[in-house]
A = this chain, B = another copy of it.
């Protein structure tokens, strides 16, 4: 059985949503970063970066949310959540996954780091304005790439959509504006998926839970 180490309102939502998309059997193990659970020797042995999510599947201990999503899609090929290897669509899928993390997410994570995640002496408030500018610029590239497509790659939902939609939702919750109504519509379409709704319900339970 797979184990997802995660915490609500972090990137672990991506892995949770992905697990629900593929219909995997798994256990969700809460790791409360706020209470220092990411810094224990046991957790550091799994991920020296001390970050979430981590997926454990037998001997495989996997970090990096985008790698987890692609791995899960490959484990359940019948779900069609990742294009076939060696195809142009697989290349485009990878392009969007890397774009999502290095361009679209980066400014949001920069904001979070300089607001609370970095040690205080390394936080620089002036960088928030730069990050807001960079987010809009990345959103413009995404908007041009999405154009009038329903999904980012090919004619079906993939983990690339999942990553991008999670990042757009992160921006929304953080009240960081991009100004592209087409991206709002795209996000709105994607979160109608039942797996998204189940993942939200599970996170909500964890947040309210006593674990």
Contact = CB atoms under 8 A, between A and B. Distances in A.
Interface string A89-118: 011101101110111011000100010001
A95 B69 CA distance: 10
A129 B124 CA distance: 10
Contact of A141 (B49, B67, B145): B49
Given A74-B85, A77-B86, A122-B130, A103 B49 contact: yes
B118 A124 contact: no
Nearest to A103: B49
A130 B118 contact: yes
Contacts of A110: 110
A35 interface: no
Q: Is the interface of A mostly helix, strand, loop or mixed?
A: helix
Copies in the complex: 2
Contact of A133 (B74, B90, B102, B122): B122
A171 interface: no
A88 interface: yes
A42 B103 CA distance: 22
B124 A126 contact: yes
Contacts of A70: 91, 94
A20 interface: no
A102 B163 CA distance: 14
Closest 6 CB pairs of A and B: A67-B94, A48-B144, A71-B91, A67-B95, A64-B98, A60-B88
Given A48-B141, A74-B91, 20 more contacts: A58-B88, A60-B91, A62-B91, A62-B92, A64-B99, A66-B98, A67-B92, A68-B91, A70-B91, A74-B85, A74-B90, A101-B102, A102-B105, A106-B106, A122-B130, A122-B133, A123-B130, A124-B124, A124-B126, A126-B126
